Amino acid sequence: MTYVVELVESNLPAYFDQVNDSNKQEYIKYKEYYKELSSFANTQRECIATIKRYLSYFKDEHLYITYKKEAFPVKDRSDTSEIKEFVQKEPVIEFEADTLNNKNKNSIEGVWQTLEGDYIIGISADKTKLYDYIGFVIETSNIYWKKGQIKFEFYKDKDDKIKCLGWGGFRTPYVSEIFLKCDTLQIGRNDFTFIRYIKGLEIYPKRKNKINTELTFKILSEQTLYFGIPSFMGDQKHAIDSIIMHNLPLLKTAKNLIIDVRNNLGGNSPCIYELFPIIYTNPVTMGCIQQMASLDNIRNMEFWRDNEVKKRYERKSIDKSIKLMKTSIGTLLPCKPNIYTTKKTFENIKNVAVLANINSASTSEEFLLFCRQSKKTKLYGENSFGAISYGSVRGRDLPTLPYQINIAMNKTGEPKEFESSGIPADIYLNINEEDLWIEQVQKMIEK
């Protein structure tokens, strides 16, 4: 744990951004608690769980744990036989579901099920040095789990609130808030919603939402165009820019445009630049990038300059940043916000509707923040993911473990209040009717 704490306190922008005079003593007490707790972690799973719990102090959705590339437990993630073999090797526990108490509405103990029927789990008190309750699988249709495997561990945090450490399909950890109200248990904003188990309760299979998975531009009506963008990864920039250029005649005459960034987890900022003139109505303030000055980040920048950057002017810019970093170790480098203006506008477009959901993240959220400042643009759907305050992630290997901690290299300058909670919609839509959102929004903007 000492290595992890030093890594965080030397490299993590969120540490320098969020730990200050007002909470310094609280943080010191917190980290010392986890240093002590780590001495009780005897297995690989317990070690990585304790590390994740320590990291959860920071409100930073770009701070997460993954496997080292060479240590991923399966070679082909689409190979079901490999997945089943992996799951078979995971430990199971013996349990008696009939002994679980379903009567105390103020306790998380009991048998719970999802309304969709894909999980029935048991939660029982199991107080150890590391957690207070465990949540284990009783029944599931999920290929990554089987009966008796522990999917959740519940513990009390520094405020004596119960939190959940959950395990993903390949057993990487995440930490979520829990919300208990009588017979409903919600884990995270959108991780799981359970109700107390009732034998014979009618279940509702999950609806398969018809969310666009390919880059798509089409005419919905004489008034309205649709542009679906499922990714802003760097390899998509040319395709996005080409579609805009190819469809300029339509964009120059249309009255309404729907831009769909649902399930777009982000990518690279240059992918969104050609969308700006379409949305633009007035000067837009854009957050600047504050680089974290650390020895690790200097090494990353030098490697990037020497092995990936081809253009001379870009290498000169990186050299300038490296020089400044070397004289400012342990700080976030200052920067000034940018003001975006353009004379290339699309005044014919009166309404831009942007569809976003909880899986719209990172660069998609950078785009949403730009849209919020346009007078002709509204956001529809639900709150976005909330991974906007930090960026440019690099992996740091954990010694003796097959995992790495992914840490951002910079602070974006965007509003911190949206981190983890997401950017709110202007008009909220029913998440149970997500496959109807395009049609619903089209009707709204064509009125």
Out of 112-126, 164-178, 402-416, the most confident range is 164-178
Q: Are 22 and 13 in contact (CB under 8 A)?
A: no
Q: What is the pLDDT at residue 103? A: 61
Angle between helices 24-37 and 44-55 (to 10 degrees): 180
pLDDT band at 116 (very low <50, low <70, confident <90, very high): confident
Classify 256 as helix, strand or coil: strand
- Burial class of residue 55 (count of CB atoms within 10 Å of its CB; 0-12, 13-18, 19+): buried
Q: What is the pLDDT at residue 21? A: 95
Q: Give the list of residues 6+ apart from residue 251 with CB closer than 8 angstroms, or none.
A: 225, 244, 257, 278, 346, 349
pLDDT tens figures, 331-351: 999 988 889 999 999 999 999
pLDDT band at 287 (very low <50, low <70, confident <90, very high): confident
Tokens 């190979």 map to which residue?
79
Strands 284-286 and 256-260: unpaired
State the chain's maximal CA–CA distance in angstroms. Answer: 70
Decide if pLDDT at 98 tops 80. Answer: no
Q: How far is Cα 345 from Cα 339, in angstroms, rounded to an integer?
A: 16
pLDDT band at 411 (very low <50, low <70, confident <90, very high): very high
Decide if pLDDT at 292 tops 70. Answer: yes
Q: How far is Cα 215 from Cα 236, in angstroms, rounded to an integer?
A: 9
* Mean model confidence pLDDT for the chain: 93
pLDDT tens figures, 237-267: 999 999 999 999 999 999 999 999 999 999 9
Which DSSP category does 207 fall into? Answer: P
Decide if pLDDT at 413 tops 80. Answer: no
What pTM did the predictor assign? Answer: 0.89
Decide if pLDDT at 210 tops 70. Answer: no
pLDDT above 70: percentage of residues in the chain = 97
pLDDT tens figures, 422-436: 999 999 999 889 999
Q: What is the pLDDT at residue 204? A: 62
Chain-centre distance of CA 434, in angstroms?
20
Q: What is the pLDDT at residue 361? A: 96
Tokens 């700006």 map to which residue?
276
Decide if pLDDT at 207 tops 60. Answer: no
Decide if pLDDT at 202 tops 70. Answer: no
Written as one letter, the residue type at 391 is G
Cα distances (Å, whole numbers) of residue 101 to 105, 123, 412: 10, 9, 47
Decide if pLDDT at 170 tops 80. Answer: yes
Lowest mean pLDDT among 214-218, 261-265, 389-393, 411-415: 411-415
pLDDT tens figures, 129-142: 999 999 999 999 99
pLDDT tens figures, 25-60: 999 999 999 999 999 999 999 999 999 999 999 999
**Domains defined for the chain, CATH in brackets:** 79-206 (no CATH), 216-294+330-386+422-445 (3.90.226.10)
- Burial class of residue 447 (count of CB atoms within 10 Å of its CB; 0-12, 13-18, 19+): exposed
Instruction: Name which of 286, 273, 284, 265 is nearest 413 in CA terms.
Output: 286
Q: Are 48 and 130 in contact (CB under 8 A)?
A: no
Q: How far is Cα 113 from Cα 120, in angstroms, rounded to an integer?
A: 4
Instruction: Name which of 192, 369, 357, 183 is nearest 285 in CA terms.
Output: 369
